[in-house]
Amino acid sequence: MWIDTIFENHLDETVELKEGHSGIFTTKEILHKNEIYKHRYDMSATYREFLVVCQVPKPQVVRVTSDDIIENSVFKVVYIVNMQGEKMGWKLDKFKRLHKNDSSDDGRHHHGPSHWLNKMNKLLGKSN
């Protein structure tokens, strides 16, 4: 089973997305300012982790586990801002999946054929 996950860069800086396991990671994608990366994750594959890396304002790495990928559909890299509006660093905001078994998570309701047939029967004046 495959699920789609989105990584968004809301920083003015470049963010590097690395994928790997057992301490060996390779660069999967470089996200520039306001870029989005859609990753298709194979849930039956070997355990994988992701590292979100940004060097500014100071070098920082945030780990994203396979469990994080399964539970969340969107990861946004955003600034941490203090009360004066100064950028103090960055963090990774996570957004939960709408449906456990739905990879699209586009916020729309998906109905099966029985729902569609019921609507058509109502339009045609037929009863079930």
What is the torsion angle, in degrees rounded to the nearest 10, for the CA atoms of residue 63, residue 68, residue 72 and residue 78? -20
Q: What is the dihedral of CA 95, 4, 34, 110, to 10 degrees?
A: -70
C-alpha 68/C-alpha 71 separation (Å) is 5
pLDDT digits (tens, 9 = 90+) for 19-57: 998 889 999 999 999 999 999 988 888 888 999 999 887
- 70, pLDDT greater than 50: yes
Give the Cα separation of 56 and 53 in Å (integer).
9
Q: In order of start, what are the domains of the chain with their CATH numbers?
A: 2-124 (2.60.40)
CB contact at 8 A, 37 and 70: no
What is the phi-psi region of residue 17: left when phi exceeds 0, alpha when psi lies from -120 to 50, beta otherwise?
A: beta
Q: Is it the case that residue 104 has pLDDT exceeding 50?
A: no
Instruction: State the chain's mean pLDDT as an integer.
Output: 82
